[in-house]
Amino acid sequence: MRKSGILLPLFSLNGNYGIGTMGKSAFEFVDFLHSSKQTLWQLLPLTPTSYGNSPYQSPGVFAGNPYFIDPELLYEDSLINKNTLHNFESENTEVIDYGYLYLSRLPLLKKAAQGISDSDSNYLSFCNKESFWLEKYCTFSALKEINHMLPHCMWKYKDASDITDAKELISTHKKIQYLFYSQWLNLKKYANDKNIAIIGDLPIYPAYDSSDYYFAPDMFIKGRVAACPPDSFNAEGQLWGNPVYDWDKLKDEDYRWWKERLKNASTIYDSIRIDHFRGFYEYYSTKENRTAKEGCWSKGPGLDFCNMIKKDFPELDIIAEDLGFLTNDTRQFFRDSGFATMKVLQFAFDENDSEYLPHNHIRNSVVYTGTHDNPTVTEWICKARSDTLTRAMDYLGASSVYTLPDYFIRGAFSSVADRAIIPLQDWLKTGSNSRVNTPGTAENNWQWRIKDSLLTKNLIEKISHYTRIYNRIREE
């Protein structure tokens, strides 16, 4: 069945608490999707962030971001009082101030966690279900606090068992994770009950400064870090800095860590986009303290890993991110994997017969006007070369650059691809001030938030109309 949906990070929702949360604005956005006849909500990773605020550099790939916990829901559950609720509020509702959240949010969440009994049956059930990762992540978080938030390579105190207050602090972090998971699963159920499926996002690597690395350093190759070679995003390449897997060791362990990760993801999402999926075929890395340009390619687990997913998770819907530099071998790998791949229209018009042009799409794919790493279509129009812009207008049939954003969406919706996902900014025709991320830069990313006033009845009718005429309508 042909489907369509919207890409919007949870952090971009509006509200009075400094960042999008899993409260009223999230439920209202689900209602907006339902009214617009959409069936998909694609998110960015829901994991905690650290320095740089990127959800792709998380201190725990299983954990939920505490910033997303909704204070009003905590108040409704009698876990905080009105005064504490007021303290959650932020004057800045236009963009996310991560510095403010860093200083203010955790102490308030700790107050809420105090209201959860150690013997609460739902809490104990959560701890048991998430035992593979929960104790380790919360121990890492406690040690992080005790060591004044320094990276673990600079820690003075490395073992929680030697610290008097660590046990209580670990328990508090467990309860905060319980609050996150409880609120998220309630929101997901609400979406599913309205026939909205959630597409989650899994970064391929954890961060170096993470519980995943701290408690299992042997799972990674010592002295090498992930990078991206020079490409259309960045002529110098990108030095990601994540540890890279020792795939021989992971295979010897029957991919247990990845199985646990996919098992967890399959409970909190309906579909999963795995970022940088080509890294399973071959991955690019460089030595520590070297540039991205000095890196090299190495073989990953290939189809053996894909076959593991199909065998152990036969119902799991995977979207394999296949953007960037591709060789004929990697293209064949994606075809052989059988997983859906991605088609981005902003990449379609730099050459005459690009694989991203709609007439070259395949059904088992997801088409986007752009992704979180792209400019909005409006910004793309302002910066595109004249020949690229001419090709786009000729191909899509737009008579004016002012109408071109609509024709981009029409091009995506008319594609043969089973799924079409449009970033909300492209429906709103917003410009560079609403860009989510600029690869290779560290400033002003992951900050954009919507205004509820933009989600109008006219927009609902427009999205519904496009959905009907291109036969991506939700079956009632």
Q: What is the pLDDT of residue 234?
A: 75
Residue 235 located in a structural domain: yes
* Predicted confidence (pLDDT) per residue in 285-299, tens digit: 999 989 998 999 999
Residue 52 located in a structural domain: no
> C-alpha distances in angstroms, 16 versus 71, 91, 92?
10, 7, 8
The domain in which residue 313 lies consists of 216-265+275-320+333-337
Tracing tokens 């460089």 back to the chain, one arrives at: 286
d(CA 200, CA 268): 8
Got the DSSP string for 232-281?
A: SS-TT-EEEEEEEE-HHHHHHTTTHHHHHHHHHHHHH-SEEEETTGGGGT
225-229: average pLDDT: 90
Residue 239 located in a structural domain: yes
Q: What is the pLDDT of residue 164?
A: 84
Helix (H) or strand (E) holding 106: helix 98-113
Which active-site residues does the annotation give?
Answer: 275, 321, 373
Mean pLDDT over all residues of the chain?
A: 95
**231 has a pLDDT exceeding 80:** no
d(CA 423, CA 4): 11
Q: Which band of pLDDT confidence, cut at 50, 70 and 90, is reported for residue 237?
A: confident
| DSSP summary character for residue 47 | S
Residue 232 located in a structural domain: yes
d(CA 180, CA 68): 7
Closest CA to 427 of 397, 395, 385, 464: 464
Residue 306 located in a structural domain: yes
The CA-CA-CA angle for residues 442, 446, 447, to 5°, reads 110
| DSSP summary character for residue 385 | -
Tokens standing for 318? 């995977």
Residue 233 located in a structural domain: yes
How many residues appear in the chain?
Answer: 476
Helix (H) or strand (E) holding 197: strand 197-202
Residue 315 located in a structural domain: yes
Tokens standing for 300? 């990953």
Q: What is the pLDDT of residue 93?
A: 79
d(CA 395, CA 397): 6
d(CA 51, CA 53): 5
* Predicted confidence (pLDDT) per residue in 59-77, tens digit: 999 999 999 999 999 999 9
Closest CA to 277 of 231, 359, 336: 336
Q: Are 104 and 19 in contact (CB under 8 A)?
A: no
**CA–centroid distance for 318 within its chain:** 14
Residue 127 located in a structural domain: no
Query: How many domains are there within the chain?
Result: 1
> C-alpha distances in angstroms, 445 versus 13, 383, 432?
15, 19, 11
Q: What is the pLDDT of residue 232?
A: 67
> C-alpha distances in angstroms, 240 versus 208, 225, 287?
10, 7, 12
pTM above 0.85, yes or no: yes
